[in-house]
């Protein structure tokens, strides 16, 4: 099983970027990692990226967009750069021990898996401990990740869509359905939902990698649909997938991951209890 390559689109947000790269360096030692600077305007970003790549030039690379093109263009550029599975990682995340190995194992477990998303404190339908409730970054993400991993073997439950903060995409799916639609979703928000629904329509599936955890700072909340407060993004998605809103609302109402989250919480309490 080959480990997925990692693509990190970057635009400004220097303090979060620095934290993210520190965690990636610590917990992704052998990974191929590509940084894509989307024409950041903060003068501190490029030197940080260049130095980070120079620290491990065999594993790390940097591409710089000639102008600001948006997340979707950068993500597609990164996916085209590699030939195998790819993890798209936001630059305001904190990864944890074995995160990439676990996502790769998840993709390799079933050729029908198009996308795998880990648990997160701020991950919409994969938020832990409460669905669609953005919580703070835990004080020790690595410790929480290890507790989650200790809570029994993964089940890889199916979810209706990948969530964009951290999503592992299989090369099988990319070859079957293509890349993100930059023309329709160039500004971002909605591209991963469209990709996930196209994958499902092709007989593939999107799953939760339920033994992995990646913390996510996140910006303003875009609600459970994973879209910016922009009617254009929603309308373009609904034009293509008219049942999307009902699909997500039904999933949230049923909350099929509730039992899994509850079991993890119970196991964590046992692990944390004295004696």
Residue 127, number of CB atoms within 10 A of its CB: 21
User: Structural domain tally of the chain?
Assistant: 1
The pLDDT of residue 274 is 75
CA distance 185 to 39: 19
3-state secondary structure of 220: coil
DSSP code of 205?
E
Q: Over the stretch 21-76, which tens digit does the pLDDT of each residue have?
A: 999 999 998 899 999 999 999 999 999 999 999 999 999 999 999 999 999 999 99
| Nearest partner of 171 among 70, 87, 75, 62, judged by Cα | 87
Q: Over the stretch 79-117, which tens digit does the pLDDT of each residue have?
A: 999 999 999 999 999 999 999 999 999 999 999 999 999
| Nearest partner of 77 among 28, 39, 116, judged by Cα | 39
65, 46 contact by CB (below 8 A): no
Question: What is the domain-level CATH number for residue 95?
Answer: 3.90.550.10
What pTM did the predictor assign? 0.94
CA distance 172 to 217: 30
């Amino acid at each position: 099983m080959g480990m997925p390559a990692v693509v990190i689109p970057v635009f400004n947000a220097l303090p979060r970027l620095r934290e993210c790269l520190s965690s990636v360096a610590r917990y992704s030692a052998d990974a191929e990692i590509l940084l894509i600077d989307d024409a950041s305007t903060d003068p501190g970003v490029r030197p940080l990226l260049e130095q980070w790549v120079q620290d491990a030039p065999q594993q790390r690379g940097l591409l710089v967009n000639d102008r600001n093109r948006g997340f979707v263009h950068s993500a597609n550029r990164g996916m085209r750069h590699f030939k195998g599975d790819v993890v798209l990682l936001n630059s305001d995340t904190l990864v944890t021990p074995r995160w990439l190995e676990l996502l790769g194992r998840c993709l390799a477990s079933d050729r029908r898996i198009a996308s795998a998303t880990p648990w997160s404190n701020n991950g919409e339908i994969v938020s832990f401990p409460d669905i669609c409730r953005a919580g703070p970054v835990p004080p020790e993400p690595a410790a929480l990740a290890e507790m989650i991993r200790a809570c029994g073997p993964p089940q890889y439950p199916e979810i209706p869509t990948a969530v964009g903060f951290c999503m592992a995409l299989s090369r099988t799916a990319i070859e079957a359905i293509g890349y993100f639609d930059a023309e329709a979703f160039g500004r971002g928000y909605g591209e991963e939902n469209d990709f996930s629904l196209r994958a499902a329509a092709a007989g593939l599936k999107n799953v939760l990698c339920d033994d992995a955890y990646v913390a996510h700072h996140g910006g303003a909340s875009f609600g459970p649909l994973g879209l910016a407060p922009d009617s254009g993004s929603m309308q373009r998605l609904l034009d293509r997938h008219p049942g999307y809103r009902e699909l997500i609302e039904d999933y949230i109402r049923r909350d099929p991951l509730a039992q899994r989250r509850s079991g993890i919480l119970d196991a964590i309490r046992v692990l944390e209890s004295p004696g």
